[in-house]
Amino acid sequence: MKGLEPHRSTMLGAATTARANVNVALIKYWGKRDAALNLPATGSISLTLDGLWVEASCAFGAGSNDDCLIDGRPAVEPDRGRLLRFVDLVRAEAGIEAKAAVRTTSGVPNGVGLASSAAAFASLALATSRAAGLRLEAPALSALARRGSGSAARSIFGGFVEWHRGARPDGLDSIAEPLLAPSDWDVRVVVAVVSSARKPVSSRDGMKRAAASPLYPAWVDAAERDLTIARGAIAARDLEALGLVAEHSAFKMHAVGLAARPPLLYWLAATIECVHRVWALREEGTRGWVTIDAGPQVKVLCDPADAHRIAAALADVPGVERVLTCTPGAGVEVRA
Ligand code: PMV
């Protein structure tokens, strides 16, 4: 992990540094109602995870070019373009044309195979907007982060978070809000890393393909019901109700992809074996519920008392590279 170096020499403004954690969706975002604005077809609910963070630093000033470093190395396409399109949004909002020096540093350990774009764009939203002289409240930050990566809208907040679909064509009502602070409900997410390779189909392309699946309309139709159940379970601290609806949402999301043409299958053999282990443990009274994103990793929601046993069982599955146990994490914050 490299530290962030101060980079004020050619810049008029001071650098702002912000840090955000990744989040895991319990009710999934899988499909867009507007691709340009990253507006989701459905709402979603997530848990922000402690210790899996990205730090972003930004200064605007007198340089003649934008200068972007990712983990200490000059950003290359397509990451550079994506990052600078995001910076352009901030420049337009702030009414400035100054060039930017942007650095992002990932604290997600190398090789854990967890997409960190949610943490990256949540930290970039705060760092770039502050550096540009904007003082955005959390809802506006959430809307800005969403433009970089949909799930980043949720990483603005800690703990359990709901990102609303919204109805406005301009997306101003498609923002996240906290449901419970990290300290309000102590749960664990055990992550079994099955492959650290970059996923073969990005979320963006996966969502495009899923939208043409014959199962997609049913997925969208059922979302409101799943969100209501999850919201109620979180309010009642009912882990079983939340776990069951989260598992259901994840498998429905993957079923939509399986029915697409060409089919979308993110799982590997070890992914399926992990699911069976978790279900077998549940039969025996150790309660964990599975969720899987656009990749092969298996994430298990459970009570702190059961995390150790679940982690040990998953570490034993052939093909599992490593296992992490995460606690609820905080929302985005300024570091310097
Ligand atoms: O934010 P994106 O574009 O990387 O999409 C995230 C998609 C899932 O992780 C599969 C689901 C979610 O709600 O985070």
Angle subtended at Cα 69 by Cα 65 and Cα 75, rounded to the nearest 5 degrees = 85
- Residue 196's pLDDT is 82
CA dist., res. 295 & res. 18, Å (int): 27
Calpha distance 229→245 (Å, rounded): 7
Residue 220 in this model has a pLDDT that exceeds 50: yes
Structure confidence at residue 277 (pLDDT): 98
Q: What is the pLDDT of residue 111?
A: 58
CA-28 nearest atom, ligand 1:
13
Mean pLDDT of the chain: 93
What pLDDT shows up at residue 115?
74
Residues 6+ positions from 260 with CB-CB distance below 8 Å: 209, 210, 212, 213
- What separation in Å is there between the alpha carbon of 185 and the centre of ligand 1? 23
Tell me the CB-side half-sphere exposure of residue 236, using CA atoms within 13 A.
Answer: 12
CA 94 to chain centre: 26
CA angle in degrees (0–180, nearest 5) for 321-152-99: 110
How many angstroms does the Cα of residue 5 sit away from the middle of ligand 1? 30
E-assigned strand segments in 62-153: 67-70, 73-74, 99-106
What are the CA-CA distances from residue 6 to residues 101, 192, 196 (Å)? Answer: 10, 36, 31
**In the predicted model, is pLDDT for residue 85 greater than 60?**
yes
Whole-model pTM?
0.94
Tell me: pLDDT of 121 over 90: yes
Mean pLDDT score, 33-55: 97
Q: Indicate the pLDDT class of residue 4, thresholds 50, 70 and 90.
A: very low
Residues 144-168 pLDDT 10s: 999 999 999 999 999 999 999 999 9
**Which residue among 21, 22, 30 has the greatest number of ligand 1 atoms within 8 angstroms of its CB, and so is best to mutate?**
30
Pocket of ligand 1 (CB under 6 A): 25, 28-30, 44, 115, 117-118, 149-151, 203-204, 293-294
Compute the distance from residue 316 Cα to the ligand 1 centre, in Å. 28
Q: How far, in Å, is the centroid of ligand 1 from the Cα of 61?
A: 33
Which residue is listed with tokens 């009710």?
27
pLDDT of residue 197: 82
- Residue nearest (by alpha carbon) to ligand 1 atom 6: 151
Q: How far is the CA of 151 from the centre of ligand 1 (A)?
A: 5
Angstrom distance (rounded) from CA 202 to CA 295:
9
pLDDT tens readout for residues 245-302? 999 999 999 999 999 999 999 999 999 999 999 999 999 999 999 999 999 999 999 9
Atom index in ligand 1 nearest the CA of residue 202 equals: 4
Distance between CA 280 and CA 233 in Å, rounded?
23
The DSSP call for residue 256 is: H
Q: Which of 29, 160, 226, 266 has most ligand 1 atoms within 8 Å of its beta carbon, as the pocket-test mutant?
A: 29
Q: What pLDDT does 142 receive?
A: 97
Residue 110 is predicted with a pLDDT of 63
The Cβ of residue 229 has, within 10 Å, a number of other Cβ atoms equal to 20
User: pLDDT value at position 7?
Assistant: 41
* pLDDT above 60 (res 47): yes
User: 8 C-alpha vs ligand 1 centroid, how far in Å?
Assistant: 34
